[in-house]
Structure 1
């Protein structure tokens, strides 16, 4: 297949053969890479998780979950999903394997759940059995439900201690609730795998506070990952018009939305009180103007040695793949690439068991890309 050479910025080892793969050659700061299209025929991919056999469990926002084989074949939708509100920004969202998946066959997934009063983000687990989900059990439901099609979050991240972090949006029309603890709008919550509340959550003993809450003052977090060095949670957050944020997400902290922000109203106009206020956290890193940050990971593989423990981050509006160099708690460098050449809204990035990097796109004709060293 003829390769098209692009002048860009990135790096990754052995290339897995995929049927009908389309390949680009990309020059980056850290060496040349190949970008392969390994799967097509999907719609608005939101989440992806690798299964032990190398196949990929993929969610489509319209309410379908599929298995994509290791050679790129797209399977039929899995049966057994609960009712899903698949409108606006809502639908089937993230998916992760349970830490004990090998023995339990459990997966966890987030979705917008319809119900009395509107809809909200919910999380369920299920047992994966061939092309069917069984024993579907809801372990979390964002409260209260809102009649809105916007700002659902939501990423799922396992903490080292086996608890589950869930990022939740402010639902757009309810942004002021991000500052109060009697609801789940604009919050990170932390639960046990069975849905119970960890006894060491920060607001368990706070009168009037929902005990699941870990942190608050967020807008719409669609990225989250555990730092492999510090073992702390980092979250990525959509600003309004400008002001996307990357935060080190710590217990009981208030991240300011909508009182402080580096963004402004759509079309212009101040939001809140400015960019700083006592008792409210500053972003660890920010983008002004906004790039519409989405999923990200800390790269821990060996195929891209120059990327070790770097953040690899996707964006929607800017159609950009970003590498952030991390030194302790500080971002020391930002490198952007693959933006205009792919011309795709990038929803998430996943590290494969082979140490390669995989990108998924939020398009009506969505694709899965594999990045590998040339």
Structure 2
């Protein structure tokens, strides 16, 4: 049964969320964020999941939801009932790793293709992100992914369990876009012998488009669209086909970037934040050859999940970006003006927001982080 959230939403972090909480301090500006009594929407709980990470809608209105431990759910959002999908690949669960993003092919109605990203075990205590695609089938033996094939992997696999990134999107050009974070190793973000710390652009089968900016270079450089990124947890296209991404910077340096072909965004040579151990990093204005962020949050929001809204339910927000906040426990609205952007307002959600998605009817959907993460439907007040 759907349940409207109580007016005083103030839930403590679950044990799992506490373990994975960002080390950055919450933004003091969150104190001035729009509180629930003044929200222009109502939030309705639809279901709960164990450490959910991402979601996407199918053409029939049902949704796929990933859980970090390696479970894929098919959810009837009208009833909140969920069913497991078999055939999910084994994942390296731990730290920031596990089952990650899920999207469908633009021609899903014809081909039934689903794309998953996940952390995968390598050799000698190494791990890396992988992307696979498979057909979603609903047969006599239940829901399953069939014919799964891995079409991309991070190079190289490294030690540690952080900064996989692996957000997925299909662009207006029909290409598959992947965020590949730098695995907390810093230098690979500038090293074209790796695909870490990069935005990746591929054909839908994992092959490399001939018009990529470094297509004439050996793999994996030929996959790269832009470089110099840290931990990219949101990518989205605006109505003009422009790609934007946000990333968790180091201490005091979260970013929103307008992505250009072949662009170098400077990390770890420059950043508007500093290292967690107190060492300074030169700001972007010291090295103008690198592309600077469009927005910097020096009081961090810990961004996760990203849409650029084009629905009808909230007509006043056409073209706005919505970013989930982890440490800031917020939903952040961003407005765009050509090549520039700014934060317009922030809604205090009382919990860490892991994922943001737009529903078929224009409602905005959120996944809260943690062991009992709520799936919330945001609708205009007075409407369901």
Shared fold, TM over 0.5: yes
What pairs up with 1:69-148 in 2 under 5 angstroms? Answer: 69-117=76-124, 118-130=126-138, 131-148=143-160
Which residue of structure 2 lines up, in the alignment, with residue 196 of structure 1?
207
Indicate how the Cα distance of structure 1 residues 26 and 34 shifts in structure 2: closer, same or farther if over 3 A, else same. Answer: farther
In structure 2, how many angstroms separate the alpha carbons of the residues matched to 1:208 and 1:95? 25
Q: Matched residue of 1:188: which SS?
A: strand
Which residue of structure 2 lines up, in the alignment, with residue 159 of structure 1?
171
| 1:289 paired to 2:296 | no
What pairs up with 1:187-336 in 2 under 5 angstroms? Answer: 187-206=198-217, 210-228=221-239, 230-271=240-281, 275-336=285-346
Q: Matched residue of 1:144: which SS?
A: coil
In structure 2, how many angstroms separate the alpha carbons of the residues matched to 1:113 and 1:4? 39
**CA shift for structure 1 position 208:** 7.6
Moved more, 207-216 or 59-68: 207-216
In structure 2, how many angstroms separate the alpha carbons of the residues matched to 1:97 and 1:115? 27
In structure 1, how many angstroms separate the alpha carbons of the residues matched to 2:288 and 2:314? 41
Q: Matched residue of 1:154: which SS?
A: strand
Q: Matched residue of 2:134: which SS?
A: strand
- Select 1:357's aligned residue among 364, 371, 375: 364
Q: Normalized against structure 1, the TM-score is what?
A: 0.89
**CA shift for structure 1 position 331:** 1.8
Moved more, 82-91 or 208-217: 208-217
Q: Matched residue of 1:77: which SS?
A: strand
Moved more, 292-301 or 263-272: 263-272
Q: Matched residue of 2:360: which SS?
A: coil
In structure 2, how many angstroms separate the alpha carbons of the residues matched to 1:127 and 1:105? 5
In structure 2, how many angstroms separate the alpha carbons of the residues matched to 1:207 and 1:138? 20
Mark the runs of 5 or more structure 1 residues left unpaired by the alignment: 11-24
Which residue of structure 2 lines up, in the alignment, with residue 175 of structure 1?
186
1:168-190 deviation per Cα after TM superposition (whole angstroms, max 9, x unaligned)? 11000x21111111101101111
In structure 2, how many angstroms separate the alpha carbons of the residues matched to 1:121 and 1:312? 25
Pairwise CA RMSD:
2.0
**CA shift for structure 1 position 167:** 0.1
Indicate how the Cα distance of structure 1 residues 271 and 350 shifts in structure 2: closer, same or farther if over 3 A, else same. Answer: same
Q: Matched residue of 1:102: which SS?
A: helix
- Tell whether the 8 Å contact from 1:88 to 1:149 is kept in structure 2 after alignment: yes
**CA shift for structure 1 position 66:** 0.5
Which residue of structure 1 lines up, in the alignment, with residue 20 of structure 2?
none
Indicate how the Cα distance of structure 1 residues 305 and 136 shifts in structure 2: closer, same or farther if over 3 A, else same. Answer: same
Aligned residues: 351
Q: Matched residue of 1:242: which SS?
A: coil
Mark the runs of 5 or more structure 2 residues left unpaired by the alignment: 9-31
In structure 2, how many angstroms separate the alpha carbons of the residues matched to 1:299 and 1:218? 24
Q: Matched residue of 1:368: which SS?
A: strand
Which residue of structure 1 lines up, in the alignment, with residue 46 of structure 2?
38
1:94-115 deviation per Cα after TM superposition (whole angstroms, max 9, x unaligned)? 0001111001111001001112
Indicate how the Cα distance of structure 1 residues 46 and 96 shifts in structure 2: closer, same or farther if over 3 A, else same. Answer: same
In structure 2, how many angstroms separate the alpha carbons of the residues matched to 1:122 and 1:61? 14
In structure 2, how many angstroms separate the alpha carbons of the residues matched to 1:238 and 1:52? 32
In structure 2, how many angstroms separate the alpha carbons of the residues matched to 1:312 and 1:189? 22
- Tell whether the 8 Å contact from 2:284 to 2:292 is kept in structure 1 after alignment: no
1:297-327 deviation per Cα after TM superposition (whole angstroms, max 9, x unaligned)? 1110111111000111111111110111222
